[in-house]
Structure 1
Amino acid sequence: MISAPIAQALDFPSQRQAQRPARPSAWLARIGQRMQRRRQADAVCPVH
């Protein structure tokens, strides 16, 4: 059986991530920039 303090310690990182939504939004912004660069490269490429 898992004791309550251990369960709280395991659940603590997920709670801390839920309090900070800035990191996932920055991650999504980085992916959006990569997709825009890829689209620009495809538009410049003469093969496409």
Structure 2
Amino acid sequence: MKFKKIRFIVDNSRVLHSKLVKGWIENNKDKIEFFYLPSYSSERKPK
């Protein structure tokens, strides 16, 4: 049975760029996919 990838939509938190997490992502890249949201942008902030 073939499974689809699990997709994560995440912010650019520093912890997500740590060696431990990057290693986990690399080891599981056939099962998961990460989409990083853009950094803070003041022009997108609602008024």
TM-score w.r.t. the length of structure 1 is: 0.26
Rg larger for: 1
Higher RCO (Cα < 8 Å, 6 or more apart): 2
In terms of fraction of residues, the more strand-rich structure is 2
TM-score w.r.t. the length of structure 2 is: 0.27
